[in-house]
Amino acid sequence: MKCTECRQAEMDINKETIRYEECGLPNVILKGVEVKRCPECGNTLVSIPALSGLHKTIATHLVQQPERLTTAEIRFLRKYLGWSKTDFARKFHVRPEQVSRWESDHKAVPMNKQSELLLRSLVAMGNKIEHYDDKIDKLSLEQSETPSMLSMFFDRCWHDGLVAAC
C-alpha cells in the first residue's frame, strides 16, 4: 500500500504494542496491532479491528473492577453508552454541571456511590436504555405518594418453577 501522505513509498507493515490514547483512558495498551509506517515521511496508520468489541471489553473490565471509577473512566463509560453530557445528566436526574464535575480532571467531585453503581449496572447489562427516558420521566413527574399494585395472573403457565409463555 502506498503512503496516504507522500504517495511515494510503500508502507512497512508490522505488529506492534501501542498505547490506545484515543479511547480517553491513559492505561489501555494493545498488543499485536497492525501498524503501517511510511519509510519516507514517517506517516503512521494503525488498524484496530473490531473497535466496538474492544470498547465493550474495556467497559466490561471497568465495571468489574473493585476500585471507584476515575474521571476518565466515567467519561469513557458515558461515551460507551452513546450519551452526551446532557443526556447523562437527564438520565441521572442531575444538572449538566454535575456531570462536568464528575468528569473533570482538576477539582473533580467524586460520583456518589449510588450513581456509580447505576452507571456500572447499565453498562454491565448492555442496555443503552433509549426507551427508558419516557418511563423514568413519567415516574419522576407522578404526584402520587401511594404506589400502585401490579397485578400478575398465571394460569397453568409454569413448569419446574419457570414461567412459560401462555
pLDDT digits (tens, 9 = 90+) for 48-94: 888 888 999 899 999 998 899 999 999 999 999 999 999 999 999 99
Distance CA 123, CA 128 (A): 8
Is residue 39 a contact partner of residue 12, using CB atoms and an 8 Å limit?
yes
- Residues 110-158: pLDDT tens digits? 899 999 999 999 999 875 545 545 544 555 555 555 555 555 554 444 4
Confidence (pLDDT) at 127: 53
Q: Count of alpha carbons within 13 Å of 91, Cβ hemisphere only?
A: 22
Distance CA 114, CA 5 (A): 49
For residues 35 and 14, is the Cβ–Cβ distance under 8 A? Answer: yes
3-state SS, residue 130? coil
Three-state DSSP class for residue 45? strand
pTM of the predicted model as reported, rounded to 2 decimal places: 0.71
pLDDT at 22 over 80: yes
pLDDT of the residue at 163: 44
Q: Which of 81, 75, 34 is nearest to 56 (CA)?
A: 81
Neighbours of 53 (CB within 10 A): 10
Per-residue pLDDT, 8: 85
Which residue in 114, 106, 103 sits closest to 78, CA to CA? 103
Measure the CA–CA gap between 43 and 143, rounded to whole angstroms. 61
